[in-house]
Amino acid sequence: MPATDTDRRLQDPAAPSRALATIVVLLLLWPGIKWTEFSPAVLFDPQNRQTIGHFLGTFLPPNVSPEFLQLIAKSTLETLALATAGMALAIAFALPLALIVAGSLSISRIGPGPGRGGGNLLRTIVRFVLMVLRGIPEIVWALLFVRAVGLGPAAGVLAIAITYSGMLGKIYSEIFESGDVQPARVLLESGSGRLSSFFYGILPGALPEIVSYTIYRWECAIRASVVMGFVGAGGLGQQMELSMRMLNGGEASTILLTFLLLVLLADAVSAMLRRVLT
């Protein structure tokens, strides 16, 4: 039967192009199916089902024996301390690096003068270093430091310090450049040094943003330290790894609940601090 006008009007005019886009996406994803060894059947493999069934079966009730809770409380404190100590080091590393990178504090950029090429080169190098520091995930740094300084929270602190100094350094330098840079420039032009131009020309305007971004990153650092223990860098993650390896579901569920509480708490504290400041 030939298509009537009504049939044609009922057709979706965008259908062919949409179908084509879907097919292209599916073709692109196809090799991925092979590479990920995609096979839902393994989920129903009797042995796997027994392992996971046994593990999840012991999740309830959570282990709340006093000794275990004490251990968890200790690990939680360790996680918090790890994130905070790491952040403190990160700020200490990031501030000087950001001061080097920020173009708004460059004396050689004000007018034609000596040292311009050198300054630009230094800035490029530091920018590249910051990129590498934050480009490698914190947990990879943690794994590297566990091999260098041994198991325990020291590796985690260093990992947080390294990754977050890369992130903070970049954002700090952007904040120093994005605000009102006139005051700093006037100070520089009238002959004051870089540090005093920074403290009197830039910092007063940039402080709220700096503080609120740092608090936000502290919250991220807590989330990161929670899992960092999986590679042996201390804190709650390390307990989780032990409990999972021993297939102790009751302990795992207690730790999981502590994770959730800790993240919620960090969320709330960070939101509160930032609200107080704005």
Partner 1 sequence: MRGSYWSIALGFVAATWLSFHYLAIDLSALFTVKEATRMAQYAASFFPPDLSASYLARVAQGTAETLAISAIGTALAAIAGVFLALPAAGYFGAVVRAGSKLVLNFLRAVPELVWAAIMVLAAGLGPFAGTLALAVHTAGVLGRLFAETLENTPREPQLALSDAGSPASAAFIYGTLPGAMPQFIAYALYRWEYNIRMAAVLGFVGAGGLGQMLYFSLSLFQQRQACTIILAMLVLVAVVDAASAWLRKRLVL
Place of tokens 């020291």: 154
Size of the site for partner 1 (CB under 8 A): 60
CB 258 within 8 A of CB 72: yes
User: With respect to partner 1, which residue has the nearer C-beta, 151 or 273?
Assistant: 273
- In three-state secondary structure terms, 191 is coil
CB 194 within 8 A of CB 100: no
How far are the Cα atoms of 48, 96, 134, 170, 219 from residue 173, in angstroms, in the given order?
A: 51, 10, 15, 5, 21
Q: Does 231 engage in binding with partner 1 (CB under 8 A)?
A: yes
Q: Does 251 engage in binding with partner 1 (CB under 8 A)?
A: no
Report the nearest approach of partner 1 to the CB of residue 154 (Å): 5
Q: Does 247 engage in binding with partner 1 (CB under 8 A)?
A: yes
x/- binding map, residues 133-172, to partner 1, per CB under 8 A?
A: --xxx-xx--xx--xxx---xx--x---------------
Region of residue 114 (left: phi > 0; alpha: psi -120 to 50; beta: else):
beta
Report the nearest approach of partner 1 to the CB of residue 145 (Å): 10
Member of 240, 254, 258, 270 binding partner 1 (CB under 8 A): 240
Report the nearest approach of partner 1 to the CB of residue 168 (Å): 14
x/- binding map, residues 174-213, to partner 1, per CB under 8 A?
A: ---------------------------------x---x--
Q: Which of 209, 208, 183 is nearest to 196 (CA)?
A: 183
CB 161 within 8 A of CB 84: no
Q: Indicate the DSSP class of residue 43.
A: G
Q: How many CB atoms lie within 10 A of CB 10?
A: 9
User: With respect to partner 1, which residue has the nearer C-beta, 6 or 39?
Assistant: 39
Q: Does 223 engage in binding with partner 1 (CB under 8 A)?
A: yes
User: With respect to partner 1, which residue has the nearer C-beta, 78 or 251?
Assistant: 78
Q: Does 20 engage in binding with partner 1 (CB under 8 A)?
A: no
List the structure tokens of 29: 């994803």
Q: How many CB atoms lie within 10 A of CB 128?
A: 10
Alpha carbon distance 107, 220 (integer Å): 35
Alpha carbon distance 206, 188 (integer Å): 18
Q: 41-100: which residues touch partner 1 (CB under 8 A)?
A: 42-43, 45, 48, 51-52, 55, 77-78, 80-82, 84-85, 88
Residues that bind partner 1 (CB under 8 A): 12, 29, 31-39, 42-43, 45, 48, 51-52, 55, 77-78, 80-82, 84-85, 88, 132, 135-137, 139-140, 143-144, 147-149, 153-154, 157, 207, 211, 223, 226-227, 230-231, 234, 237, 240-241, 244, 247, 256, 259-260, 263, 273, 276-277
